[in-house]
Every structure is written in structure tokens, then in C-alpha cells.
Structure 1
Amino acid sequence: MFYRRDPPDPPGLPPSAADGGSKFGLGAPKWAFGLSVFFALVFTASSVMPVSSFAPPGLARKGARATSNHYAPEPVSVTVVEARRETFVSTLVVSGSLVAREEVVVGSELEAAAIEEILVDEGDKVTQGQVLARLRSDLAQAALVMNDAQIERADAMIAQADSAIREAEVTLRLANNINERARSLLKSGAESMDVLEQRQAGAETARARLQSAHHARDLALAERSLAQAQRQDLTIRLDRSEVKAPAAGLVVQRLAQRGMLVSGDSGPLFRLIKDGTIELDALVPMSDLARLEQDLQADVVVAGATVPIAGKVRLVASRVDVASRMGNVRISIESDEKARIGVFAQARIHLHRPGSMVLPLTALLSGTEGIYVQVVKGGIVESRPVTVSDYAADAVRIETGVVEGEHVILTAGAWVRSGEQVAATMAAQVVALKD
């Protein structure tokens, strides 16, 4: 049996007998020592047995299940979607300026002709063959009058040659008859050789006059042909004095001014948009050109407008600029009063990819090894790297990594890891593909 003997109190302190002889603390009572021993025992017990073992059954952690001696957590409940193939719709935003699909330049081929009258202005719609301006044509009209006189003169010369031909033919026929009678009389001795020779000379002269009449007629015909050719040239010049629209369209620029002297190298007088068709000329990165094709629908918003204009992809460039690595895309738009040449516009092209593997955007996770999704197989989570080929507002198009029919966690995050057991719940297959 052991007895504790307290050492004597240090000088200057009150005797320990006042607190029952305890030395737990200076002046501390004996019950404080016992309390410290109690807490030490409790701390030791808690380090050996979980606190939950002390709690009554009604206070156990919610969601726990009992084993032989401990409570294990239930599997985490997750929502999964089925990977399936469907039409993937995404948008590609491009921007550029409005241009004419086909611009028509109108000028004049006349030389040194002044503009006398202008009949249209910018913004006017014209039809094919409509007169846009008139040039001075008084000189051509005077030349046309002179040409008419030349044609009449040639016709008169032709008529005169025809008369000369008929006369020469009669004279030649008479000379031939006289020559034949002279030959007969010469045989009978009634005529001399001199008379016969004279009759033969008369016949040759008549024959030469007939040939001369024919040549005169040919010359008159040639002069008439020349006059007619000159008339055709003058008619063309008179027709060109009226500047006409070569095609129907919209006048977007008028460079002609009244009194301006026009020549072959003076430049265009008007610029037209053929049929009034306007397009959006946009630049697209070469990585996006492969996604585009003709007849894709698009919504075009012109600067300063709020309502989009319906459009369609008409042309995708077959070449890429070496310096910028970008290509041109032409989007035809419907007629609209706010669509003007040179205005900035932005288009949203709707891309349709049938038979695509589609997953919600929330299913994607990003880690040190890249983008991946979490697939649930047999209640166990498996992290699967995937290749994403396109994005929509809330969906993605998966190229590789997921097989059709597999269950992918809709929204996982950091609280579910690969290899962990989960309780999967199928979600309604709602993958919004609209932007």
C-alpha cells in the first residue's frame, strides 16, 4: 500500500492544507484532478471506437447501412443518359460585308460624245434595255441623212445602168442582124468587103457598150452596198447614244453627269446589281470550311437591324488564302430594304449532322489527360477519354470514346471517381440541340 506525501509548501505561499492537501494546481481543489482524469479516459476511448458507436440507432448517419460491427455508406446516386445517334445541330457564326452577287458595269463606246440627259438615279430599279442616259447625237443624225442621199444616188445609178444595158442589148441585136445581111450580100456580090467590115465593127461596138453598161451597174450596186454599210454603222452609233441597261437590276452607283464628255476610256457611267441580288461575303477559318456545304440555312443580321433575314449558303470557296488561312463563303439573302451594299452583317449558319453521337455538354469533364466522360458499367464508374468534333449550345458531338447505348453520367463532377460504385438513375433523354 502506497501513501503519497506532499512536499512542504514553498515559502511565501499559503499552506496546502487549506485545499485538502491537493497539488494539482496552486490552490486547486481535489475535484479538479479527478475531472482531468475523466476527460483523459474519454479521449482514449474515442480514439479506439468511432463516435457513431456511442450514438443511439436513431441518430446514426443518414444513408448508412449496418455491417457486422460498423455502418458503411450507401452508393452515390447519379443520373445517367444513354449515348445515342441522332441529328446534331450546331451553329457557326460568321461575319462580313454585303456585296452584289453580280455587278453590272454600264458605259459607252462612243468617242467624244457629251451626256445630254440622265434618266435614272441611284436606288432606282431598271429593266433590261431601259434607257439610263442619252448622249448628243446631232452629228450622227446629220451623217445618217447624208447616207440616205448616198443610197438614193446609188439606186439611181443602178436604174440608169439597167437602162443602158437594155439599150446596148437592142443595139447589139440590130448590129448582128445587119452584119448577117452584109455577109449574105457579099456572097451574092451585092456588097463589098468594106461594107461588111463596117457592119462587123458596128456589132463589136454594140457588144462593148453592153459590157460597159453591165460594169456601170456593178459599180452602182457596190456604191449602194457601201452606203448601206455606212448606214448600219450610223444606226449603231445612234443606238449607242442611248445608254441602256444590259440587264435588269438595281442602280447602286451613278457616275454620269450632265455635259460630261464620254469616251471609250472614260470609265463606267453606272453600276447595277443584276436582279438586285445581294449576298453576304464572309471570311471563315480553314478549319470551319470543311463543315460548310451549299444550301445550308442561315440567319443574317444586318448592322442596325434586330430582325434576322433568311439566307442560304450559295458558295463555299475552293481555295484558302495562304497568308490569312481563311476562305470566302457567299450567303444569299432574301430581298430586304435594310440590306445595302457595303453594310456589315453577321450570319448564324445552321449545321446539321445526321447520325452523330450526341451527349449533353454537362457530361464533359476536363483533366490533366484531356477531355473525358464518366461511363457507368455494372454500377461502377469508368473514366473514358473522348474526342469532341463539334459543340452546340448545350450538347456535343462525340467522334470517338463512347459506344452507342452506353450510360454516361449526366453531371458528375469531382465527387464521383473512377472505380467507385454508384446507383444509376436514367434521366429523360433531353438534349437541347437548339442554340
Structure 2
Amino acid sequence: MAEQKTGRGRLTTWIVIMVAVAFLALSFYNYHRSQKEETTAVKEVTPVPVTVVKVEEGEMERLLETSGDLRSRVNVYVFPKISGRVIEKILVDKGDRVKKGQLLVILDASLVKARMERANAAMDAVRSRLELLEKDQKRLEFLFAHKAAPRQQLDRISAQYKAAAAGLKEAEAARREIQVLLADHAIKAEIDGVVAERFFDPGNLSDTKKPLLRLSDESLMKIELVAPETDFPRLRLGMPADFQLAAYPGRIFHASLVKMNPVFDPATRTVKLELQAANDGHLLRSGMYARVKLYMGRQNVLAIPREALLRLPGSGSYYVFVVENGLAHQRNVKVGLQQGERAAVISGLNPGE
């Protein structure tokens, strides 16, 4: 019985020793394999070729890149001067070109013409009476000079003649007034331009509070845009600008800064600007959308290639890799102007790095 127990104990001991040896062998194998994989991984890393450039000092054009709508600089709304008249004819339509003084609209002038006829008849009557009184006055002056007519009779004729002459002046003034009124029934263009809008058709009644047409002088165009507060100190009247339009791909048009609003918008902290562009060939039209570059002068900057700029995910902050002691180190930078293939660095880099 004792021998049987001793045999079992020896068997258990051998089993424990064999398990321990197997565990140690497996651990050694795994360690050896991991070391080999790491060595292989290190050997498989291929260096990535990069281009190293130095931070350079130079000049860059400061641009205000924005957009705005084209508008004609001069717009004239054509109002009638008389209300309640039937619009007989509108001689132009939207898009027609007109010259200053050209007849645009005719209102019904039948009542004014009737008044003119009465005024002409009244003037004719006054002139006839004046002619008769003039003859009587000359005759009485002759008789009075030869003591054949009393003074009282001559004075009476002279007074009648003066009253008739005053009546003639009054009739002429009334006729001129009617002529002005008659002219107001024929509405003419005040400027050279284009009929931009037409608000009425013939047959409607005129209203002095409602325009009949809108004329637009498009020989000069304007672009209204806004600039941020930070750019305001650099803005000067006369600064050049370029703009492009979708209607003419690849074509560049030129303008200049002609107006700056003296007050800022407190909500947006921006200031309104107005550019002016000559409309040679009448290619520009009101309502076109312009992509604008306003040139605000050159300034000294630290410049690097734009392709060297990287952005942190999430925050979007810019960073670059700077070579120090033969190794590339990440460094955050603050970026300013970006034009073409170059970007200006405001902080984070030094010249020559």
C-alpha cells in the first residue's frame, strides 16, 4: 500500500516537471518570434522622401477677395407730373436704349388742348381790341394837338389802351402756363440710358406717386461690397480692383474704389465699399454676380509654400514640420495671406528655418 502511494507521488512530480518545461519552451518560442517580427518590421520601414525649404522674407500683395452684384451707377425713375390722365402711348419697352430728350410716354391731353384753344382765342380778341385802341389813340392825339378834341377824351382812350396791353400780357402768360401743362403730357427721357423697367401699359391712369419707367445709365457700373474692420486702415480711394463674371469665363474686368462708407455696421463690424467700372462695349449688366479682388498694397511677410501647411483634425489649426538636429518636429503656426503657391506666416517660424 505504501509502495503504491509512493509511485503515484513520483508520477505527479514528473507530470508537473514536464508541464513546467513545456511552458518555458513555449514562452521562449513566443519571445523569439516576437523579436524576429520586430526586426523584420524595422527592416521593412521605407524612408519617405521630403523636400526641405527655408522660411523666406519677401513681399506679398494684400488682397481683399470678396463678391458683389453689379449695379448701374445712375437710375432715374420716370414719374408723370399730372395725375388722373389716361396713358395714351408708351413708346419704349424694357431693354430699349434711349437718348436724353427722347419722347417716352404720351398722356391724354384733350382737356389741355381745349384750354389752349380758348387761350388762343382770348389772345386774338385782346390783340384786335388793342389794335383798335391804338388807332383811336393816335387819331385823338392828332386832334388834340390841333385843338379839335378835348383832353379828357384822349386820357380815356390812353387808359383803355394801357388796360388792353396789360390784358394781352396776362393772356400770353396764361397761354405759356398751358403750354407747360401741355408739355407735361409728353414725357421725355432725362438721361441717356436703357429702359430697365416698365411699370404701366397704355390705358391706365397716371399717378404722380407711381413711376412709369425706370431708366438706367449703364455706361458706368458699380459693385457694392463690404470689408472687415481689420482691413479698413489700409483702404484708400482709387485702389485698383479686378473682377470676374460667370458670363465671361476667364475674362478679367477692371475697377477702382470710389466710395467708402464712413460708418461701420455694428452688427457685422464691416464697412460698405463701392467700386466703379467702365462698361466698354456694354458687356456688363445690372444683376451680374462679380468675384472681386481689391488690391490693398504690398507688405513684407515670412513666406512658405502652401503645400507645407497641414491642419489639425477637429480644430483646423495650421502646423508644419521643422527640421531640428536632422529630425522633423511638428510646430503650430499662425497663417496670414495665402496667394497662389505661397502662404504668409504670422507667428511660429523664424527667417531661415
Normalized against structure 2, the TM-score is what? Answer: 0.71
Pairing 1:258–2:205 present: no
Which residue, 220, 223, 228 being the options, matches 1:285? Answer: 228
How much has 1:238 moved relative to structure 2?
1.8
How much has 1:365 moved relative to structure 2?
8.5
Could you say which residue in structure 2 is the equivalent of 1:359?
303
Distance 1:27 1:86, change over 3 A: closer
Could you say which residue in structure 1 is the equivalent of 2:240?
296
CA distance in 2, matches of 1:229, 1:168: 31
Could you say which residue in structure 2 is the equivalent of 1:394?
341
Could you say which residue in structure 1 is the equivalent of 2:95?
123
Could you say which residue in structure 1 is the equivalent of 2:272?
328
How much has 1:325 moved relative to structure 2?
2.7
> What amino acid sits opposite 1:391 in the alignment?
Q
CA distance in 1, matches of 2:61, 2:333: 17
1:198-219 deviations in Å (ceiling 9; x for gaps) = xxxx8xx722222222222211
Secondary structure of the equivalent of 1:260? Answer: coil
Distance 1:14 1:233, change over 3 A: closer
**Structure 2 stretches lacking a partner, 5+ long:** 1-8, 22-27, 29-49
> What amino acid sits opposite 1:86 in the alignment?
E
Percentage identity across aligned positions? 21
Assess if the C-alpha contact under 8 Å between 1:291 and 1:351 holds in 2: no
Q: Which protein is bigger by CA-based radius of gyration? A: 1
CA distance in 2, matches of 1:214, 1:392: 92
Could you say which residue in structure 2 is the equivalent of 1:249?
193
CA distance in 2, matches of 1:394, 1:244: 56
CA distance in 2, matches of 1:241, 1:208: 50
Distance 1:295 1:14, change over 3 A: closer
Pairing 1:88–2:61 present: yes
Instruction: Write out aligned runs for 1:196-215 (5 A).
Output: 206-215=150-159
CA distance in 2, matches of 1:27, 1:312: 90
Assess if the C-alpha contact under 8 Å between 2:72 and 2:218 holds in 1: no
More deviation, 115-124/286-295: 286-295
1:70-116 deviations in Å (ceiling 9; x for gaps) = xxxxxxx984446334342545123x434332210001112321111
Could you say which residue in structure 2 is the equivalent of 1:105?
77
> What amino acid sits opposite 2:211 in the alignment?
P
Instruction: Write out aligned runs for 1:330-349 (5 A).
Output: 330-333=274-277, 334=279, 340-342=285-287, 345-349=289-293
Q: When the two structures are aligned, how many residues end up with a matched partner? A: 321
Cα RMSD (Å) of the superposition? 4.6
CA distance in 1, matches of 2:65, 2:88: 52
Pairing 1:407–2:327 present: no
CA distance in 2, matches of 1:325, 1:338: 34
Secondary structure of the equivalent of 1:88? Answer: strand
Distance 1:285 1:14, change over 3 A: closer
Could you say which residue in structure 2 is the equivalent of 1:132?
104
Normalized against structure 1, the TM-score is what? Answer: 0.59
Distance 1:172 1:338, change over 3 A: closer
Pairing 1:11–2:10 present: yes
Secondary structure of the equivalent of 2:337? Answer: strand
Whose helix fraction is larger, Structure 1's or Structure 2's? Answer: 2
More deviation, 137-146/252-261: 137-146
CA distance in 2, matches of 1:257, 1:147: 32
CA distance in 1, matches of 2:260, 2:174: 50
CA distance in 2, matches of 1:250, 1:309: 24
Secondary structure of the equivalent of 1:109? Answer: coil
> What amino acid sits opposite 2:191 in the alignment?
A
Instruction: Write out aligned runs for 1:33-182 (5 A).
Output: 79-81=52-54, 83-88=56-61, 90-94=63-67, 96-175=68-147
1:14-48 deviations in Å (ceiling 9; x for gaps) = 99xxxxxxxx97999xxxxxxx9xxxxxxxxxxxx
Could you say which residue in structure 2 is the equivalent of 1:39?
none
Could you say which residue in structure 2 is the equivalent of 1:273?
216
CA distance in 2, matches of 1:146, 1:292: 65
CA distance in 2, matches of 1:87, 1:93: 18
> What amino acid sits opposite 2:59 in the alignment?
E
CA distance in 1, matches of 2:309, 2:194: 52
> What amino acid sits opposite 2:10 in the alignment?
P
Secondary structure of the equivalent of 1:12? Answer: helix
